[in-house]
Amino acid sequence: MTDTADAREADRALKAKHRTMWALGDYPAVAREVVSALGPVLVEACGVERGDLVLDVAAGSGNAAVPAALAGGVVVASDLTPELLEVGRREAAARGAELRWQEADAEALPFADGAFDTVMSCVGVMFAPHHQQTADELLRVCRPGGTIGLVNWTPEGFIGQMFATMKPYAPPPPPGAQPPPLWGREEHVRTLLGDGVSGFEARRGTVRVDHFGSPEEFRTFFKATYGPTIAVYRNIADDPGKTADLDRALDELAGGALRDGAMEWEYLLVTARRGGAAAG
């Protein structure tokens, strides 16, 4: 097998692993019950209007795609994990939102150059392993003058710290994969988008999470619903000591963040205008 064929096979295996991870548990419950406010924030920042062609990349169950459709956008919700899209279809129908759902890899989007007025992602593309490849695809499918909008968890915020807490218990990342919270650093996103955009704007915000009354409630919920957390616990399932250590570490993290029954989870919101040149 050639080096190129080896690389393709390794990429297919990695994507299959990601697809399986996000199908674990019940991520739509996280999107619906915990961070539902993030989608409308992104849609408003992108200025989605009636008739706009909108692509939501790594859309999950449609946290941003559904609000974009309800705002009048002609929306395609794409994600690597078909199980999430199926939940999104049902939830969108219940809310009276019409949009198209399509399985797609954020690093190799099956759409034409410049096909969309708005290309956005809400805590989605940050989990694709190869950041520059992903950014190049966001640029490629956005028309010149169109809008690129992103919401990503910051490294310093609660979810970024949760990933840092889980890291010692997780299997090592595959070669070439970059940490998701890097997308929460303004300078990293600026570098990724480069001269493919103009009018780059970034600001930090927080989403208020009042779903958990105690650290244990948070830990129990995320162990049951959130794919990355489930995958880490499965990695140490044969080591009760490590499992107990991670339980304590997550409880400590959540306990430090809870104030009067609520947490503030920090994110970076980026919007930019697509330039006229083709993505490199």
Task: Give me the pLDDT at residue 232, please.
Answer: 98
Strand intervals (E) in 108-221: 116-122, 142-153, 197-209
Distance CA 40, CA 55 (A): 15
Rounded to two decimals, the pTM is 0.94
Q: Which CATH code is given to the segment(s) 3-153+175-206+266-274?
A: 3.40.50.150
Distance CA 205, CA 116 (A): 26
Task: Give me the pLDDT at residue 41, please.
Answer: 98
Q: Are 121 and 57 in contact (CB under 8 A)?
A: yes
Task: Give me the pLDDT at residue 280, please.
Answer: 41
Phi-psi label, residue 200: left if phi above 0, alpha if psi -120 to 50, beta otherwise:
beta
Closest CA to 21 of 108, 106, 104, 128: 128
Residue at 214: amino acid letter:
S
- Would the CA dihedral through 221, 225, 229, 234 be positive or negative? positive
Distance CA 96, CA 50 (A): 15
Per run of 10 residues, the mean pLDDT along the chain (length 280 residues) is 71 88 95 97 98 98 98 98 97 97 97 98 97 98 98 98 98 90 98 97 98 97 97 97 98 97 97 74
Q: Hey, what are 120's tokens?
A: 């956005």
First to last CA, the chain: 29
What is the domain partition of the chain in residue ranges? 3-153+175-206+266-274
